[in-house]
Amino acid sequence: MANPARDALHFPSHHAQQIDPYIPTLPATPTPTTKPHVTLTFATSLDSQLSLAPGIQTALSGPESKAMTHYLRSKHDAILIGVGTAVADNPSLNCRIEGVGGYGGEGLEGQPRPVVIDPKGRWTFSADSKVLKLAAEGKGRAPWVVAGLGRVDEERRGMLESLRGKVLEFDSSGSSISWSEILNRLVNDGVKSVMIEGGGGVINELLAPENVGLVDSVILTIAPVWLGKGGVQVCPDARVEDGQRLAVSRLKDVKWVPLGDDVVLCGHPRLA
Ligand SMILES: NC(=O)C1=CN([C@@H]2O[C@H](COP(=O)(O)OP(=O)(O)OC[C@H]3O[C@@H](n4cnc5c(N)ncnc54)[C@H](OP(=O)(O)O)[C@@H]3O)[C@@H](O)[C@H]2O)C=CC1
Ligand SMILES: Nc1nc(O)c(N)c(N[C@@H]2O[C@H](COP(=O)(O)O)[C@@H](O)[C@H]2O)n1
């Protein structure tokens, strides 16, 4: 390994062993599939909120669980967020674990592909956006933007393509795109595993009854803090069958892993 970067994070192997049963493994013989392995992973407060208010980035993960998130980023082909998060956070969406490409490793080995769901082309990224800067510096990959036809202007499309990113166009008239379609497009473009980080809109859709079968694992950091009403909440639509209210889903094969002051909850979601 080349010299590790000074800002690289470390995730100890005894912690990794606890999380590993919930992350993707490559099958010995690859079989055709309609979607990648999907890991839904995010951090919430004790009142199930992702941030203090819409549009406000809120650091919830402590240093140990932050390192875990970067370990997960190194183990997935892609990392996906909604446009609300891209606009609010100006995120890096790269992996800063020691030993990956740009942080002591070669090339872009271990760097996930950022994917931003932006049907209306609301993300006004520029060469100064963190994710593009990191791609230009060889410390991350350029994003793929999932957008409605013609919603990303030529200048921004060119900016992406010059860094080996691209626009994935959907004929959606700028409205909702089904998650099966999005995931199918990703797998057809070579993404075998994707970690979905948020935000509220994306997570609540993926936890909704009709999408439960699309998510393979949930890895959820819970931070010991209450944010108070008015934040971005994780709470999927209710499940009602034959006029009866039912629980939406439940995690199976559950493991609770304490990491610093936080606890990380891992499991496989199933209809309750
Ligand atoms: N604590 C944590 O782990 C995390 C926290 N966050 C926080 O979450 C907040 C952002 O959440 P939120 O505002 O809900 O935004 P999101 O990032 O969830 O983006 C939501 C938007 O994405 C687009 N979108 C989502 N699903 C689809 C779909 N199926 N088809 C087409 N478009 C889709 C829509 O865009 P459009 O409206 O243009 O149609 C939608 O309004 C921020 O404050 C951020 O800091 C984010 C990630 C992780
Ligand atoms: N795991 C986790 N913990 C938190 O406390 C967070 N606020 C987030 N947010 C997600 O991470 C992105 C920002 O990190 P980078 O700049 O990409 O390193 C942000 O956009 C959310 O997806 N996650």
pLDDT one-digit tens code per residue, 212-249 = 999 999 999 999 999 999 999 999 999 999 999 999 99
- Number of domains present in the structure of the chain: 1
**pLDDT (0 to 100) of residue 271:** 87
In a domain, 5, yes or no: no
What is the pTM for the complete model shown? Answer: 0.97
Instruction: Please list, residue by residue across 135-163, b when 16 or more beta carbons sit within 10 angstroms of its beta carbon and e when fewer do.
Output: beeebbbbbbbbbbeebbeeebbebbeeb
Residue 25 has pLDDT above 90, yes or no: no
Which of 117, 122, 182, 218 has the most ligand 1 atoms within 8 A of CB, as the residue to mutate?
117
In a domain, 190, yes or no: yes
Q: Using only the alpha carbons of the chain, give its radius of gyration.
A: 18
In a domain, 2, yes or no: no
Distance 17 CA to ligand 2 centre (A): 22
Q: Domain span at residue 34?
A: 13-271
Q: What is the pLDDT of residues 164-210, one digit of tens each?
A: 999 999 998 878 999 999 999 999 999 999 999 999 999 999 999 99
Q: What is the pLDDT of residues 120-158, one digit of tens each?
A: 999 999 999 999 999 999 999 999 999 999 999 999 999
Distance 97 CA to ligand 2 centre (A): 14
Which of 79, 89, 97, 202 has the most ligand 2 atoms within 8 A of CB, as the residue to mutate?
89
Which pLDDT band, with edges at 50, 70 and 90, does 29 fall under?
confident
In a domain, 4, yes or no: no
- Measured CA to CA, the distance from residue 187 to residue 31 in angstroms comes to 12
In a domain, 1, yes or no: no
The CATH number covering residue 143 comes to 3.40.430.10
In a domain, 253, yes or no: yes
Number of other residues whose CB lies within 10 A of the CB of residue 112? 25
Residue 3 has pLDDT above 70, yes or no: no
Nearest CA to ligand 2 atom 18: 92
Nearest CA to ligand 1 atom 11: 199
In a domain, 201, yes or no: yes
Mean pLDDT over all residues of the chain? 95
